[in-house]
Structure 1
């Protein structure tokens, strides 16, 4: 009876195995649950914030005033009849002053304000759509991984940044006439807007409210920050495990060694995941998929690009 041949590992197989372990570490982590919870909390508060902002703006700028200025603009032209702006950016000011001191140490009253935006910056959207980005083969942790040490930026960092920018809609070609897909950046910018009286400079408008409402809007901004913070904590927790795991995988020569570790940790790992990854490049070049790739609307994921490159290298080695 012949002895079953052991499956030898290489760098590609170790990467696939590491991804399986990472998914396991994340799915069972309290930090993943906290990240999901932070997103849900923000979503709930965002829905409420839309109603609160609209009520506050209309208290200070009644709809009939907006309609009057629009009629004046229609009659006398823009600027001559007044200014209106469709805005998603608002400054909410606390009507209750607090005491502070000026540069000379003299007491003065200060009215605090908080900047509320319904559009979103890239760091927030990267954290908010982290699961979706990972499912597309992109690296949403590329910036968190630096831990603010920008000397660590490498070609792989810039490549990951470019792919994230393009996917979310922050790249230069986002507004191209050939780009028919609504990216997340544009979707958020247009999700909620109110007609306000004045120019496009939202910092010129302060909408005063009572202290309780002001504090609620501050907590809404904190909810947005918590999504990013939860992402950072999740990454740091999992990355600590992954660094140890990768060192161990480098010392393993055979798949059964990784399988033994997986069994001890309760990780579902089998050879089929390696087979599925190895066949990715072949499936990409099926007639249907290749036809899609030759159109402008379809983009390869990072994993698909890597699979194609490795397939080409293997072909070159065979031909040589």
Structure 2
């Protein structure tokens, strides 16, 4: 019998477009999804956008919604979104005040028990949502869940593990060290996020993820999920690679705010890295004695030793013995 109810026709159309309607019910209402994914985007290469969204909509076994928040990108980027647009619970394309503002727009709309954001130059591993939903069911009190992640090159190849095999969470090492929490592989309990303020700090550009981890850690330790969840692309034009002194100032501000220390081993490591990068410049190096670079490397090594004392490894990753 043909469908005569407009709402039902629309529901069936959405089911066909999605291949599956993870949070739809047969009565036309919509259930709360287990997971909400916010995807902020602005002028990313179309191939990045396509791979990111394809990795989301290929997920199986867990109900989810996708909230795509675009900063009014160029036509090429928006064209890459178009094949996926009808499958998004929300699609926004308008000017914003930066990445945190874009993510916050999505977080305000999110309905999932778990929330995460995925930048369009990163992508999920198969089965990621199922692993995270299972982790949430086993440990529903954890403020957030951290999964295994991989570094890739710009083409999304040459995968390398982000975490060491014997990784373990260490609160003291995090507060005094480097940020070793991989954002794309981390899912936040929405209830915990709301208790921690609900939104990202719009005044931060480089360490907005680190700042929300600090707030969430006031509610308890995270849950480690030993399954592959996400991949990050590392290439010269990323914010982490280009942040320089502005990024350092944000790192130092967080250390001061959350550890009550203006200098930590992690802050010192970042400072020595920046100074060393400057001293490799031929013109700058002429202004210092030949042994100056060696002294910088020695202090950098001492800062690394401080991280090793706290965490177990000089790169800041806490590990079990």
**Whose radius of gyration is greater, 1 or 2?**
1
TM-score, with structure 1 as normaliser: 0.23
TM-score, with structure 2 as normaliser: 0.23
Structure (1 or 2) with the greater helix fraction = 1
Select the structure with the greater relative contact order (CA < 8 A; seq sep ≥ 6). Answer: 1
